[in-house]
Amino acid sequence: MDELKLSRTAFRENETFLKTFTDGPKRDKGQLLLEIDLPDKPGAEDAIVEKIWRALHDSFFNSDSDDAYYGFESALKAANEVIEKENQKRERGTIGRIHAVAALLQEHALHFSHTGHAAVYLKRGEQFSQISEELEPDAESSFQSISSGDLRADDVLVFATRSLPFDDQTLLQVFSETDGKMTALLKGLGKQKEVVGLVSSLVFPGGRHVEPVLEQSVPAQEPSEEAPKEVLQEKRREVLGKVSQERAKKAIQALKNRINPARFEKAKKAFQGVISGVGSRLSKIVKKPERLKHVSRRTIMLFVIVLVLVLGVVITLESGYQQKAQQAQYYEDLLHQVENNIAIAEQRNMIENKKSALDFLDKAEVSLQEIETAGFFQANVDKLKKQIVLFRDNFDAIIRVDSPNLFFDLSQKGTVDALGIIHTQDQKNFVYEPRRLFESVLDKVQEPLGIDPEEVVLSGVELEDFNVLTFVTQTGNIIEYSTRNGKFERSKTQDDAWKKGSDVKTFNGDTIYLLDGPSNSIWKYRRLRNGYSTSSVYTNQGDLSNAVSMTIDGDLYVLLRDGSIVKYRKGVPTPFEIKDQPSLAVKNPTRIFTLPEAKRLYVLDSANSRIVAYVKGTSGVGHYEKQVVFPTLKPNEIRDFYVDKDEQKLVVLTADKAYITDL
């Protein structure tokens, strides 16, 4: 992957401090980018943003992990630590607001996180949309979560430290231009509205060339000779034309919805009466012209002007009302077609043709969007939208948990950034961060325990036969915590060194398995009285380079980044197929879970705030059964989960809370 060059535009630089950093790609890790905006100017801005960048940069590129996502996550935490330290240095306890975007670009993927009012946009083909979520106004000035997605050739990425106050159609036309025109159009739009901050864009390889203008602010003066003023003004009119048309259309529709046909008819008859009266007076004057002697010329002129105005109003209202009536009839017919498509979808689902049913629901949603945009039949549109959601939930057996019950609250112990949860055989819950461990007794959280100041924990599991929790660390060490005496200890192996792993699981209470994607292996160790045995290869078959998690019930299941599951039996890949996938495919999952006695596999799709359940089945064929969705939790907010041995309760873990719900 070659370095992707940025086109950078700055707005109102005298009102805020703006800076862009980028480096890479190198060491096969991708290209790192930071765009930052400090509006409160706390002093020493250059030094502050340089520290934030160095922390982000050095943590990422110096990481030993081959997992770019994890490396990026660790780098964001390092940047957050710098922000926190800078806040603590100041008497007012803060460096002020931070609007920033941090992004990692790889061969075909994007990972990003943002703070404040920053936003990320994507232009793909003829579509332009914001792909970052809106953050709460009072959210902390730190990077809280990561969003990820695949990139295609000719995709245009736009990073803005403040969200752009223009509609998608306008921005689509702006970012379809070459760099010089695009910058000029942005500047022109910036003068129309109060735009502040940085806007950077880049084109993913495969399309038009982008000239690098990194670290060069666009001057505030009029455009250069390359973009003559007349050409730019014409282009601005072209870009803004659709916006004006759309606004005018909405205004007309709003007026139409306020018009009462009965009242319009009364007004119409009143105007006709006026015209009839005027006509009567004119006929009398025509029959006896001498009557004009008693009428001044000024009065006649006023009379004619009033007559023309009255006729113009009547004609305008009449034609406008007819046009609106035709539009209303069109959208009413379209509404009936939506109802028909929903009915067909229900019938198709009844005969188990789920794909066809979903296609008809998709058509219904597109038509509803058209009706809603036009401003007609809003109550009917809202009702049918809810109906479609219910049908989709029914088709996919979706359980929506709008108000999950709080199981325990870690935030009572201060700022917590939980990584995972271990549910032990004696029904205790332990939550671990990269360097701390919390125990929850019922709904009470105990004081945190430091794991190891020199290590960063990646994953943990219980070895019930030895009453210990076993953690694998970023450097490849194994640390154990004794649930009997409450002590931590670095464990030893009979090998010279531990094999590395990103995930650890156990079976039979005395054996651990380490998932080592970079070496395409799963390692196996047996727990002895003092330390662990030498390593043995459980498997090095199949492609484990994209493995993210695993679980064991006798067979071993590996979850891949694309949502597929590979099954191993005694280290050998075994045919395993899942039928009847949910309509919204699982992508970028993070955890898989099962128990020896469980009938199902459970997968965490945190990006969509859901747990997806698959029946294991027999003869290598499983099937999708249901999903539990948490609409009130943000994308990527769920960090880990577990299901009880009876498969009746589900517990999900966020950064600082655990919730429980029925299955």
CATH number for the domain that contains residue 188: 3.60.40.10
217 & 344 share domain: no
211 & 294 share domain: no
287 & 146 share domain: no
Residue 154 within a domain: yes
390 & 434 share domain: no
Of residues 525 and 509, more confidence is placed in 525
Q: The domain spanning residue 616 has which CATH number? A: 2.120.10.30
390 & 410 share domain: no
pLDDT at 238: 44
pLDDT tens string 251-306: 444 444 444 445 445 555 555 555 555 455 545 554 555 555 555 666 767 777 87
pLDDT at 352: 65
187 & 58 share domain: yes
391 & 414 share domain: no
189 & 272 share domain: no
Which string of b and e fits 148-183 if b means at least 16 CB within 10 Å? bbebeeebbbbbbbbbbebeeebbbbbbebebebbb
pLDDT tens string 409-436: 999 999 999 999 999 998 899 999 999 9
Residue 495 within a domain: no
β partners of residue 642: 651
352 & 409 share domain: no
Measured in degrees and rounded to the nearest 5, phi and psi for residue 380 equal: -65, -40
Mapped onto helix, strand or coil, the DSSP state of residue 655 is coil
Residue 560 within a domain: yes
Range of 644's domain? 405-472+546-662
H helix intervals, 351-435: 354-374, 378-395
Tokens of residue 401, six digits: 């948990």
The percentage of residues in the chain with a pLDDT greater than 70, rounded to a whole number, is: 82
Domain boundary among 395, 416, 434: 395
Domains identified in the chain, total number:
3
Of residues 169 and 278, more confidence is placed in 169
- Choose among 478, 558, 465: nearest CA to 507: 465
Residue 637 within a domain: yes
Domain boundary among 203, 225, 247: 225
Residue 578 within a domain: yes
573 & 626 share domain: yes
Residue 585 within a domain: yes
The C-alpha atoms of residue 663 and residue 651 are separated, in whole angstroms, by 10
Mapped onto helix, strand or coil, the DSSP state of residue 507 is strand
pTM of the entire predicted model: 0.53
Domain boundary among 225, 244, 271: 225
Across 219-228, 283-292, 543-552, the highest mean pLDDT is recorded for 543-552
pLDDT tens string 234-247: 443 443 344 334 43
421 & 457 share domain: yes
Evaluate whether 342 touches 388 at the Cβ level (below 8 Å). Answer: yes
196 & 276 share domain: no
Residue 497 within a domain: no
Residue 507 within a domain: no
